[in-house]
């Protein structure tokens, strides 16, 4: 079955969700799919002449179709590099689900595949009473989990996978990302993750490889998405 959209979840913040999402976008587009990226909520944005801009959302924009407006990719942009509910409070912004859903549906209507990148980890609060995971539930998205390969990643990955499944979401698989090139026993850690995680490994991204070249390492993710 061809998946019209997928959610890229992370085991933590700073583990390479954007890198994996951009590599997946390149892989999809190289395979002939009209794929676009989305970062529904981004904190840590900078002021530019064109408005608030976030590096992760800009990377998704660069990896996607030419001419796609920034606002279509990142409908909620927040200044402070904080948890979204805190950054939104400082900006006087209230994050609610309906506007995000409208933005997601608009992208889905214009493109055959949407790669939605989360913010932080699975259970990051966006607003009082609204967790990032609730976007996935509301939009019924399958999940690809990015595991940042560093000390502690096994525990983080197993807890995240358990939470994703407990929330009733589909875990298509996981991508390992070599964020620490000096990590000890990386092959042993990968073998442990393959043995213990309840979903297949869809690829392992090497350290320091640009997303367009890293796309070749995601054949498993393409297969899972159909």
Active-site positions read 39
Burial 50-59 (b: 16+ CB within 10 A, else e): eebbbebbbb
DSSP code string of 54-81: -HHHHHHHHHS-TT--HHHH-SEEESSS
HSE-up (13 A, CA, CB side) for residue 131:
12
The side-by-side arrangement of strands in the sheet containing 5-10 is: 35-38, 113-117, 5-10, 143-148, 171-177, 201-205
CB 64 within 8 A of CB 37: yes
């Amino acid at each position: 079955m061809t998946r019209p959209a997928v959610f890229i979840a992370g085991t933590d913040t700073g583990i390479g969700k954007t890198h994996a999402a951009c590599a997946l976008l390149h892989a999809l587009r190289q395979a002939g799919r009209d794929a676009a990226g989305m970062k529904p909520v981004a904190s840590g944005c900078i002021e530019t002449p064109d408005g608030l801009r976030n590096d992760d959302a800009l990377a998704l924009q660069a990896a996607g179709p030419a001419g796609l407006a920034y606002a279509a990719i990142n409908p909620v942009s927040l200044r402070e590099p904080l948890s979204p509910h805190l950054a939104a409070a400082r900006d006087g912004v209230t994050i609610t689900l309906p506007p995000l859903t409208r933005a997601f549906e608009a992208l889905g209507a214009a493109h055959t595949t949407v790669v939605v990148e989360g913010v932080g980890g699975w259970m990051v609060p966006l607003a009082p009473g609204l967790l990032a995971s609730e976007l996935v539930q509301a939009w019924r998205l399958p999940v690809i989990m990015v595991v940042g390969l560093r000390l502690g990643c096994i525990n983080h990955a197993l807890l995240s996978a358990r939470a994703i499944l407990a929330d009733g979401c589909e875990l298509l698989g996981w991508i390992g990302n070599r964020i620490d090139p000096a990590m000890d026993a990386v092959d042993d850690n990968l073998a442990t993750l393959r043995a213990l995680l309840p979903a297949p490994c869809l690829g392992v991204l090497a350290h320091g490889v640009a997303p367009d070249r890293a796309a070749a390492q995601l054949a498993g993710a393409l297969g899972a998405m159909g």
